[in-house]
């Protein structure tokens, strides 16, 4: 598969549309264990990112510029803790694309892993702390493992989505030790982490976008 600047611009539009649809559900999840703004933050961030990348000239903009532009707009639009986390993820994705006019399957799998790693590096959360890392880390690992078996990008992203969904579901049985919900202690038990839920939304957009 060859992923162009145009494909990546359209990916951001897809994610922004998905976040608009999921906004209320994500706010409700955050209302239970946080401050009820997660859907607003994600919708604001990705709509700002989609708007900014849509304005880039595809004849001159490369994939790195798409991700860097998205990172900057996301950070400017979002005051919540997800702002710097996703801005770092997007910058790391941009760094993987550096110097490449288009991306192949290996690049995309590496980019996906760098995106996930960026969230972990920025927020310092490990698996099991009831954050978005519980969806992103297993998704990236499954994506890479599937590529190592020689399978194509859609199959890698399908495996990533499955692992991300399982990871998000597993946050129900976790006590938060990072972020706002860490103040709740055991009261957070039984509730899915909103950041893990929105991570699944993003991962499903990646999968849908690169599955023809």
Binding residues vs Mg ion (CB under 5 A): 30, 34-35, 37-38, 80
Could you give the CA distance from residue 13 to residue 37 in angstroms, rounded to a whole number? Answer: 21
- CA 53, chain centre distance (Å): 16
Q: Which of 11, 44, 85, 140 binds ligand ADP (CB under 6 A)?
A: 85
Residue 195 binds which of Mg ion, ligand ADP, none (CB < 5-8 A, kind-dependent): ligand ADP
Tokens of 147: 């590529």
Cβ proximity to Mg ion: between 38 and 209 the closer is 38
Q: How far is the CB of 53 from Mg ion (least distance, A)?
A: 25
Q: How far is the CB of 128 from ligand ADP (least distance, A)?
A: 12
Tokens of 198: 């929105």
String of b and e for 36-49 (b: at least 16 CB within 10 Å)? ebbbbbbbbbbbbb
Q: Which of 15, 18, 44, 125 binds ligand ADP (CB under 6 A)?
A: 125
Could you give the CA distance from residue 124 to residue 153 in angstroms, rounded to a whole number? Answer: 28
138 binds ligand ADP (CB under 6 A): no
167 binds ligand ADP (CB under 6 A): no
> Which residue stretch of 2-10, 69-77, 81-89, 99-107 sits at the interface with ligand ADP (rule: CB under 6 A)?
81-89
Could you give the CA distance from residue 208 to residue 36 in angstroms, rounded to a whole number? Answer: 28
Identify the bridge partners of residue 125 per DSSP, sorted by sequence position.
none
Q: How far is the CB of 73 from ligand ADP (least distance, A)?
A: 16
Q: How far is the CB of 188 from ligand ADP (least distance, A)?
A: 10
* Helices and strands (H, E) in the chain, number of each type: 8, 0
Structure-token match 């494909």, residue found = 7
Binding site for ligand ADP (CB under 6 A): 30, 34-35, 37-38, 41, 80-82, 85, 119, 123-125, 131-133, 178-180, 193-196
């Amino acid at each position: 598969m060859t992923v162009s600047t145009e494909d990546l611009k359209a990916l951001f539009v897809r994610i922004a549309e998905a976040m608009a649809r999921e906004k209320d559900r994500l706010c409700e999840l955050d209302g239970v264990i946080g401050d009820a703004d997660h859907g607003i933050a994600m919708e604001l961030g990705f709509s700002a990112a989609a708007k900014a990348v849509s304005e880039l000239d595809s004849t001159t903009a490369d994939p790195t510029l798409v991700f860097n532009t998205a990172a900057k707009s996301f950070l400017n639009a979002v005051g919540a803790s997800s702002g710097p986390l996703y801005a770092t993820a997007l910058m790391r994705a941009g760094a993987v694309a550096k110097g490449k006019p288009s991306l192949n399957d290996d690049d995309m799998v590496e980019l996906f892993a760098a995106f996930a790693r960026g969230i972990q590096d920025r927020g310092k959360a490990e698996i099991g702390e009831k954050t978005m890392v519980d969806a992103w880390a297993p998704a990236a690992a499954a994506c890479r493992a599937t590529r190592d078996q020689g399978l194509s990008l859609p199959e890698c992203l399908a495996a990533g989505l499955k692992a991300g969904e399982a990871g998000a579901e597993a946050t129900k049985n976790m006590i938060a030790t990072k972020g706002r919900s860490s103040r709740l202690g055991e009261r957070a038990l039984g509730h899915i982490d909103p950041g893990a839920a929105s991570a699944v939304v993003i991962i499903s957009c990646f999968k849908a976008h690169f599955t023809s």
